[in-house]
């Protein structure tokens, strides 16, 4: 039927195909070159995107920095509120803390310290009520 063997057809067609690839015109070569560079740019941008900081982390960082700054500027919110509108209770609280500190660090045994607290429990209850209910300007 024909003189071409299977191998000959394959080899001949491969040679023709290779020749047609080598003979591509400059327009096609140029466009393929551009397409290759576009693909490489895409690969590079994807790779650099992996190592860069994600967008959400910058937003979270700004938010965290804002909160930290506010806390550092204003101090504890409760302390700020008391110092702004109730200066006397602050002094009273500070004194109470100091008293507690003395009690806790007294040379006596811990049992003695608890006894002292129990002895004055009414006083402390009264002082607490007074502090909570009294007009800020009259306390202290």
Partner 1 sequence: MERFATLSHAWMAWDGPAPAPEDAALDHTKELEKFLAEVERRAFRIAQVSLRDEDDALDVVQDAMLKLARNYSAKPSSEWRPLFFRILENGIRDLQRRRTVRKRWMSWLPGPKEDPDEEAQDPMDNVAAPGPDAPELLMQDQAMRQLEESLRSLPARQREAFMLRNFEALDVAETARAMGCSEGSVKTHYSRAVHTLREQLGEVWS
Positions that interact with partner 1 (CB under 8 A) = 1-6, 9-10, 12-14, 16-17, 19-29, 31-32, 35-36, 38-40, 42-44, 46-48, 50-51, 54
**What's the closest the beta carbon of residue 63 comes to partner 1, in angstroms?**
19
Instruction: Give the nearer residue to partner 1 in terms of CB position, either 44 or 80.
Output: 44
Least gap, CB of 24 to partner 1 (angstroms) = 6
Query: Which CB, 2 or 85, lies closer to partner 1?
Result: 2
Rounded to a whole number of angstroms, the minimum distance from the CB of residue 61 to partner 1 is 14
Euclidean distance between CA atoms 10 and 7, whole angstroms: 5
77-84: Cβ within 8 A, 24+ apart: none
Of 28 and 78, which has the nearer Cβ to partner 1? Answer: 28
CA 45 to chain centre: 26
In angstroms, what is the minimal distance from the CB of 18 to partner 1?
8
113 near 106, Cβ under 8 Å? yes
Residue 6 CA: distances (Å) to CA of 11, 19, 20, 41: 9, 20, 21, 43
The smaller minimum CB distance to partner 1, of residues 19 and 132, is found at 19
Q: How far apart are CA 27 and CA 119, in angstroms?
A: 102
């Amino acid at each position: 039927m024909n003189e071409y063997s299977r191998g000959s057809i394959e080899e001949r067609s491969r040679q023709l195909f290779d020749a047609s690839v080598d003979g591509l015109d400059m327009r096609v070569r140029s466009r393929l070159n551009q397409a290759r560079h576009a693909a490489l740019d895409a690969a590079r941008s994807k790779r650099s995107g992996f190592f860069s900081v994600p967008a959400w982390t910058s937003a979270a960082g700004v938010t965290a920095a804002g909160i930290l700054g506010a806390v550092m500027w204003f101090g504890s919110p409760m302390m700020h509120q008391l110092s702004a509108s109730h200066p006397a209770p602050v002094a009273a609280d500070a004194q109470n803390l100091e008293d507690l500190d003395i009690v806790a660090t007294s040379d006596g045994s811990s049992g003695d310290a608890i006894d002292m607290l129990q002895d004055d429990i009414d006083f402390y209850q009264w002082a607490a009520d007074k502090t909570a209910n009294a007009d800020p300007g009259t306390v202290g």
